Structure 1
Amino acid sequence: MSEQILLTKLFVPTTRGMLVLRNNLFERLNHSLLTGCKLTLISAPAGFGKSTLISSWIETIKVPIAWLSLDERDNDPARFITYLAAALQKVKPGIGQNLQAILQSPQPLQIENTLILLINEISFIEEKFVVVLEDYHLVDSQQVDQALEFLISHQPPCMHLVIVTREDPNLPLARLRAQNHCIELRAADLRFSNYETEEFFNRIMQLNLSKKGIDLLELRTEGWIAGMQMAAISMQGLQDTDRFIQNFTDSNRFVMDYLLEEVLHRQPENIQDFLQKTSILDRMCGSLCDAILQDTSASSKATLEYLERVNLFIIPQDNERQWYRYHHLFRNLLLNRLGQNLSREIISELHIRASEWFEKTGSLFEAFLHATAANDVERAERLIETEQIGLHLRSVAIPVLNWLNSLPKSVLDTRPRLWVRSATTALVLGLSTGVEEKLQAAEAVFTARKESYHAEESDQIRDLIGQIACARATLALFRYDPAEMIIQARRALEYLHSDNLTYRFTANWALTSAFMFQGDRAGAAQANQDCIEISQKSGHVFSKILAASNMGSLQEMENQLNLAAETYHEVLQLFGDHPQPNASIALLGLARISYEWNDLIAAERYGQQSLQLALQLDSKIDRFIVSEVFLARLKLAHGDLEDALGQLIRIEQTARQRKFLLRLPEIAAAQVSVLLRQGSVSDAIPLVQRYEIPLSQARVALAQGNPSAGLAILELYRQQMEARRWADERLRAMILQTLTFYACDEKDKATQVLSEVLSLAEPSGFLRIFLDEGKPMADLLSAAAAQGICPDYVNRLLAAFEAEVSNKQATATLPGSSSLVDTLSVRELEVLRLIDQGFSNQEIGERLFLALDTIKGYNRRIFEKLHVQRRTEAIARARELGLL
């Protein structure tokens, strides 16, 4: 379910044995590394030896290296960060692995959140290391520039960044210079000096040139290393090198053209042919070159080895010398020559052969790229219809969508399937703009040609109509329009082929979601059962994940916590080691279940993991809101009332800003719980008046001393839930009924309802649903124990209450100058004890599964309550008070 990493992009180029030593530049590079400078920028035009300088310098220093060779595809920020994390694994194995699911998700990437996770991991690396970004000029993406700027701004001191580029990156270089965070090497620095020029021509290339000849070459090339290299290659074997030098032009552009001709003309015809035709490849190996050349008389592997041996601008991409690439500048010139010497038809045929080779070897995306280069629309269309191409990956979906968007309307009108594919690919990427227009364009083609279609085509058109309906069901999901979702999903199922399992699953999944929105859980369960059957038949892992996630949610709603937990764990197993953002559903489900089982540590761990993944989803998806509300309720359980309320207020503001209005009642209900715990009944009243939240309304009535009003609300709500067969809400209503009867001094009725509640709750082992109600519930359970009601379960609940009371008694009461009493919460005491054990804030966060900022907030409140300013004082004060 993840993109395969091309390891050759992480290969540190090896330097040849004979190089001009550039000690003065090495000293400047060493200085930047030793002084804690953040960035070294190597910026110069092509052919100035930038990469050679860095790779040779690397061999002289004893620090770990992360090398990343960039290309045009790295304009996608998810791909850029994916490869950056992969490069960092050369420094520290395993770093960034927990980000892979986020990065491979089809949903738009939340760049800063992802980088924060990566930077936090980098900060744990103890030794100094260097990250090299080669060919950054090939990246033309504002998002990637912003990501890199964020990384540099928060760069841990253990990391030094080197950017190798032909043009200055779009970074705040002036600010970095002013802060002494950047050193720069440019063309003037990289040019060979007179001494280095002589070293190159006479010691390295052994041409035995005169001082006059060397001076003239240096003048003509202006110290341009690539020009010198090709001049040296051209002069090898010449008797009259002086004449060559005299005829040497002083324009770099013409120098390169001239030298290329000289170099190529000195090679055998078969080598010239090889160089031109293989220049269409971003990377090449022997069998791939054999496939596109179709020359049985020569071995491409032997040719590649020859090219490397004669220094003909070829760069190995792995230590085994299986994969190579051309020097970028050399390849560009070869491509220009190819276009001049061969017809478009022949070049297209070369691309088709490359496409066929990549398809045969399973690299379908590269096969697609060569098909598009050949302008073979039919072949490209077939490849993107292949499930194995991985359209659920952003790094694949974006180029596919770009190609589809580049096609003329006349081409798309002849192939309406491509209109539909363009629309559905946009939806995969979370893009809704222009989708409906594409769907209408496809329908217009169907209508115009309706009479001319033969039977087989008509059958295909019906299926496409079904796909269009699926897309519209997804568009309706963006608008939270369940009625339209149901209409379009049912239309899709009517038109789709019976064997089109991918889209039939999508239609049933849309139905499941729509029924869940409408509260029709029975309908959702039936639609999801169809999803399960289709996913099992298709074997598509992502379909299995979505269907199982919905099944877990439905089981949870039925109070089948044990079954739901098993289902959620199965979902995580399907994701493997790198869960994607959609795993947030299963993780939040496990968080809720852990909470009900009173395992608050596991609940927080799952809840935080769920939030981090949910934040990576499209900004139009509100799933992160649910995770944040859960975590706020968890703060309430820990007694952190102020933090819980502050978080809920912030969540409400976010929901309003992003128009997530459907989440406002849920947020308000959580706010009411916190306000009532604080005794702020007057602040809770407007919330229950504004929103339809019956349980909260009943709680407020009870807090106001009007239990009879609360009973009326609860009786009606319970009847409604029983009619709907909503087991979870019915249980919550009944628990509140017991407390309300108890408040009315109707203890027999309270005990009777409690007995029903216990019989419903015991099979799944509910605990927190009782514990959260506090002492009145404990008193009711004690009465139930005296009557022998559900003795094992009641005793377990009473033991949990005793443990809860013990935890509360463990909070510290601190003496002050007045009668005011400050207390440390259970969680604050837990943090204080870890501080005493010498753990850093980062380590405490990892142990408690909390963010670093959260731990810092706990520190601040602990210091305030203890009236101290630093850790050592806090430990001393706590010992004085007997807290440690």
Structure 2
Amino acid sequence: MNMPILSTKLYIPPPRSGYVPRSRLTELLHQGLRRKLTLISAPAGYGKTTLVSEWLTGSNLRSAWLSLDEGDNDPARFLSYLLAALRTMAPGLGEGVFVALQTQASQPPPIEWMLSHILNEVADTLTEPYVLVLDDYHVIESPQVMSAVEFLLERLPSRLHLVMTTRVDPELPLSRLRARDQLTEVRTEDLCFLPDEAAEFMSRVMGLKLERDGMKLLEAQTEGWIAGLQLAALSMKGGQHLTRATHPFNERHPFVLDYLAEEVLKQQSPGVRTFLLRTSILDRMCGPLCEALMRLEVEPSLEITGQAMLEQLERSNLFIVPLDAERGWFRYHHLFAGLLRQRLQAEESKQLGADLHMCASHWYEENGLELEAFQHATETGNVNEAARLVEGGGMPLFFRGALAPVQTWLDSLPTRELDVRPSLRVMYASVQLLSGQLSEAVHHLEAAEMALQNMPQDEETSEVIGHAASIRATLAVSRHDAETIMSESRRALHHLPIGNRAVRTATTWALGYAYQLQGDPVSAGKAYSEAMAVSQSIGHGMITMMSMLGLGAVRQSDNMLHAAADWYRRVLELAGDPPLPIACEAHLGLAKINYEWNDLAAAEKHAEKAIRLAPLLQQTDRIVACELALARVKLAQNDVESASTLWTRAEQHARDHQFTYQMQEVAAVRTSLLLSQHQPAQAALLLQPHEPSISLARANLAQGDVSKALGILVVLREGAEERGLAGERLQVKVIQATALYAHGHKDEAVNLLLQALADAENEGFTRLFLDLGQTMERLLLEAKKSGVLSGYIRNLLDQFNVSTPHGQNLQDRHKASPSGKPTLVEALSSRELEVLRLIAEGLSNTDIASRLFLALSTVKGHNRIIFDKLQVSRRTEAVARARELGLL
């Protein structure tokens, strides 16, 4: 669930009927298309927006328009609207980023990352020039949004031209752009009406015919300022003499404007005047909304519909701008709106202003525009009403892309308001947690909890306690602190009402993670399944994906590799393209599974994608986990140098950031590196400070201390069986079998290995066996004699022939052998070996395709590669050559 996109912000305001053509300026804009940026900078009332509208309407240029407002200082909201504007040019553009903004509204990926993907797609998609207009850029004050616009400008595709209207020069490298001839500038002196343009405006647009002297006086007073001309004309229509209207102010525009605006209002009927003042509080308006505001007053009443009044104002040139082609939504010219609001404050009571804002808030809420409802509620000073709207009926606004406006409101509240409302403190903590301000979040939690101690316990305070506990549980997740997650989650679920589904669902997910950390996969799976079901029903996409990742991890720990891979792939589908940062975890899971299946190319690809996404998951240990996973892949590929570099980087990062949870895996990968370099003593020394582990057993086994290894493995196996840890139990059994074999207990070793093989066959475990090297290879040859699981054992032995498990494989020994036997230059993959065996059985390409569920063209492609690697040209030669090499 996300905040809706308002299409009115993407609408190009049409030129007024009877507007004055300004060919000298439109030609200047057209010439500027060869540069990156056209900057139209001038004070209010100089016709900046009208000029761009006239230019685009009168040309054949393809364009996108974004009318900016204060709410666009939220980086996620700004990018959402920027993308929505670009998608009016190319529907479907940036679909992956769109999904990211929809599903991760509370914590979107970094804006530069999303912009990079959008701009790459723009460059690939646009086949003709386009113009992107950012109207009213002066409202942007956010450093993050300003930085994003600079990033956008620097990387602007050649077919996209940026036009910016603003009252003040933007914080962009304008000097550099000028020096590179990448900037076209239209400024106040350019926008001023020339005498003939001013005369035409008064005649054609305003319907006034002035004498030559009067026109000269008007030009002198307004200096070509369009808003001044229009206001003067409106006041003159009411009978006000030109000289009296302008003379006393001696060309000082703000005073002229204020006086003329007052004169314009005096000329309106009481009903129109009231309408203008009451509706001035709105940033945009439609007929029904205006009628709702007018119903607050009994006299004077609105004699015509709100829609009819808006259309009448437009016909009267009363500074009103349509926002859609159907003319259902309008806004006042910003300058005029500001003056009306000042007049409203001066003439009416403060209470009426608050009532108008509250009325607008209720109307917006009833019509599903909750952010606008919240913003008007904040203007009333009614903190409770604003807080209720933030809660969003169970799905808080800050979970739906309104993080910045909610935080801005909370920042504006005096401390005394927060002190008497612990619920606001907890809300503040939740917002700061989402924005990465963890220490500030803890501060507000502590203040809230202290205040709650002195308050009576009722349903309201109980919910606040529950929400605070949920936040504390979430803070503990990144530390992998199972005990804290568990206690705080249970406390949260105890206090949170059933109706607070958003917070309860996030808490249930956290509880599942605690169970997972504690080695309770059954309870973890139940919690993740519940969180996923509820999050899907309420549209909480992030918790849905996190729950799927949790279910994948649980299945993986239960040795259900295929089911786990399916969950990870589902997450990647939801994460989009470009993917959300959370896709890092899915890629990491798939890297580990493909590693186990000995599909090292796929494992490497997923690990590299995970590493690219990991830095986006701020304040987590994912970089360490991903680099260690890739290090294992590189080691399996016999690239010890790359594996060592990755390990060093991961180990340093873990120590620098005190990621203690990863230190056991850091030690395990280091052990594998040392064993691959035949340094078991160093590996055992490295593991001394750690608890007994599989890595230590392997180091002892490599040293020849089989008894010590067996002692460790017996304890580990008993613990894994007692806790129901299927993955650890299988791994221990396989290593235990090799230890028994090395200890001379061949029959016991074979029996134990056959048990492990039976558990591993259906899920395709491979590296579990290959990584144990020659001892496992010999043990498999012994197990083969039993005639049990012969197909699986034969496949594993074939993999030993073509794989490189830490430099201990048969192929390396063949190459080092002086026997003169032919060797392969490049090893065959597991799939190529499978195809080769079917060729040897006499199957045709069509039969092989059917057997392996492959396309015929794919089988033929495998044939070509097999022939190249075996250095043969036909099937019979390939079979003969494979037999010589011992591959068949």
With the shorter chain as reference, the TM-score category is 0.7 to 0.9
- Deviation track 1:226-246 (CA, whole Å, cap 9, x = no partner) reads 222323333447596576565
CA contact (8 A) 1:213 1:245 kept: no
- Residue 867 of structure 1: aligned partner: none
Q: What are the equivalent positions in structure 2 for 1:24-63 lying under 5 Å apart?
A: 24-34=24-34, 37-63=35-61
Secondary structure class of the residue paired with 1:395: coil
Secondary structure class of the residue paired with 1:763: coil
Deviation of 1:542 after TM superposition, in Å, equals: 5.7
CA contact (8 A) 1:364 1:388 kept: no
C-alpha separation in 2, matches of 1:257 and 1:431: 44
- Residue 252 of structure 1: aligned partner: 253
Q: What are the equivalent positions in structure 2 for 1:740-755 lying under 5 Å apart?
A: 748=747, 750-755=749-754
C-alpha separation in 2, matches of 1:283 and 1:260: 20
Secondary structure class of the residue paired with 1:149: helix
**Of residues 344, 352, 366 in structure 1, which corresponds to 2:358?**
352
C-alpha separation in 2, matches of 1:759 and 1:509: 33
- Residue 790 of structure 1: aligned partner: 789
Deviation of 1:300 after TM superposition, in Å, equals: 0.5
- Residue 322 of structure 2: aligned partner: 316
CA contact (8 A) 2:509 2:547 kept: yes
Alpha-carbon distance change, 529 to 393 in structure 1, aligned in 2, over 3 angstroms: closer
Query: Quick one: which amino acid aligns to residue 8 of structure 2?
Result: T
Secondary structure class of the residue paired with 1:3: coil
Query: Quick one: which amino acid aligns to residue 156 of structure 1?
Result: P
C-alpha separation in 2, matches of 1:291 and 1:550: 49
CA contact (8 A) 1:638 1:826 kept: no
The answer to whether residue 386 in structure 2 is matched with residue 380 in structure 1 is yes
- Deviation track 1:35-74 (CA, whole Å, cap 9, x = no partner) reads xx32222222111222222222223554432222111111
Q: What are the equivalent positions in structure 2 for 1:301-450 lying under 5 Å apart?
A: 301-387=307-393, 390-393=396-399, 395-450=401-456
Query: Quick one: which amino acid aligns to residue 85 of structure 2?
Result: A
Structure whose CA Rg is larger: 2
Deviates more, 1:217-226 or 1:317-326: 217-226
**Of residues 80, 83, 91 in structure 1, which corresponds to 2:81?**
83
C-alpha separation in 2, matches of 1:102 and 1:808: 47
CA contact (8 A) 1:585 1:610 kept: yes
TM-score by length of 2: 0.80
C-alpha separation in 2, matches of 1:633 and 1:467: 41
Query: Quick one: which amino acid aligns to residue 556 of structure 2?
Result: E
- Residue 454 of structure 1: aligned partner: none
Alpha-carbon distance change, 327 to 458 in structure 1, aligned in 2, over 3 angstroms: same
C-alpha separation in 2, matches of 1:600 and 1:333: 69
Q: What are the equivalent positions in structure 2 for 1:107-186 lying under 5 Å apart?
A: 107=107, 109-127=109-127, 128-186=129-187
Deviates more, 1:8-17 or 1:661-670: 661-670
- Residue 665 of structure 2: aligned partner: 666
C-alpha separation in 2, matches of 1:33 and 1:465: 58
C-alpha separation in 2, matches of 1:539 and 1:64: 35
- Deviation track 1:679-722 (CA, whole Å, cap 9, x = no partner) reads 78899777656766834445555666776765555454444433
CA contact (8 A) 1:698 1:713 kept: yes
C-alpha separation in 2, matches of 1:824 and 1:277: 81
Q: What are the equivalent positions in structure 2 for 1:836-855 lying under 5 Å apart?
A: none
Query: Quick one: which amino acid aligns to residue 187 of structure 2?
Result: R
Q: How many residues align?
A: 809
Superposed CA RMSD in Å reads: 4.1
- Residue 96 of structure 1: aligned partner: 94
Deviation of 1:140 after TM superposition, in Å, equals: 0.7
Deviation of 1:142 after TM superposition, in Å, equals: 1.1
Deviation of 1:759 after TM superposition, in Å, equals: 0.9
Deviation of 1:640 after TM superposition, in Å, equals: 5.6
C-alpha separation in 2, matches of 1:176 and 1:536: 48
Q: What are the equivalent positions in structure 2 for 1:561-640 lying under 5 Å apart?
A: 561-568=561-568, 581-582=581-582, 584-586=584-586, 588-597=588-597, 615-617=615-617, 619-636=618-635
- Residue 15 of structure 1: aligned partner: 15
Deviates more, 1:96-105 or 1:607-616: 607-616
- Residue 486 of structure 1: aligned partner: 486
CA contact (8 A) 1:785 1:795 kept: yes
- Residue 552 of structure 1: aligned partner: 552
Alpha-carbon distance change, 16 to 750 in structure 1, aligned in 2, over 3 angstroms: farther
Deviation of 1:625 after TM superposition, in Å, equals: 4.0
C-alpha separation in 1, matches of 2:785 and 2:17: 89
The answer to whether residue 270 in structure 2 is matched with residue 264 in structure 1 is no
Alpha-carbon distance change, 460 to 204 in structure 1, aligned in 2, over 3 angstroms: closer
Query: Quick one: which amino acid aligns to residue 4 of structure 1?
Result: P
The answer to whether residue 192 in structure 2 is matched with residue 191 in structure 1 is yes
Deviation of 1:432 after TM superposition, in Å, equals: 2.4
Query: Quick one: which amino acid aligns to residue 383 of structure 1?
Result: L
CA contact (8 A) 1:355 1:366 kept: yes
Q: Percent identity?
A: 43
Deviates more, 1:387-396 or 1:272-281: 387-396
Deviation of 1:224 after TM superposition, in Å, equals: 1.9
C-alpha separation in 2, matches of 1:631 and 1:214: 78
Query: Quick one: which amino acid aligns to residue 63 of structure 2?
Result: I
Deviates more, 1:682-691 or 1:425-434: 682-691
Alpha-carbon distance change, 115 to 500 in structure 1, aligned in 2, over 3 angstroms: closer
- Residue 74 of structure 1: aligned partner: 72
- Residue 755 of structure 2: aligned partner: 756
CA contact (8 A) 2:280 2:337 kept: yes
CA contact (8 A) 2:374 2:389 kept: yes
CA contact (8 A) 1:292 1:353 kept: yes
Secondary structure class of the residue paired with 1:434: helix
CA contact (8 A) 1:778 1:798 kept: yes
C-alpha separation in 2, matches of 1:175 and 1:739: 68
CA contact (8 A) 1:365 1:389 kept: no
- Residue 727 of structure 2: aligned partner: 728
Query: Quick one: which amino acid aligns to residue 87 of structure 1?
Result: A
Secondary structure class of the residue paired with 1:315: strand
CA contact (8 A) 1:108 1:430 kept: no
- Residue 278 of structure 1: aligned partner: 279
TM-score by length of 1: 0.80
C-alpha separation in 2, matches of 1:606 and 1:405: 42
Query: Quick one: which amino acid aligns to residue 485 of structure 1?
Result: I
Listed as ranges, the gaps of 5+ residues in structure 2 are: 296-300, 816-824, 830-888
Query: Quick one: which amino acid aligns to residue 93 of structure 1?
Result: P
Query: Quick one: which amino acid aligns to residue 319 of structure 1?
Result: A
Listed as ranges, the gaps of 5+ residues in structure 1 are: 451-456, 814-822, 828-884
C-alpha separation in 1, matches of 2:761 and 2:329: 63
Query: Quick one: which amino acid aligns to residue 488 of structure 1?
Result: E
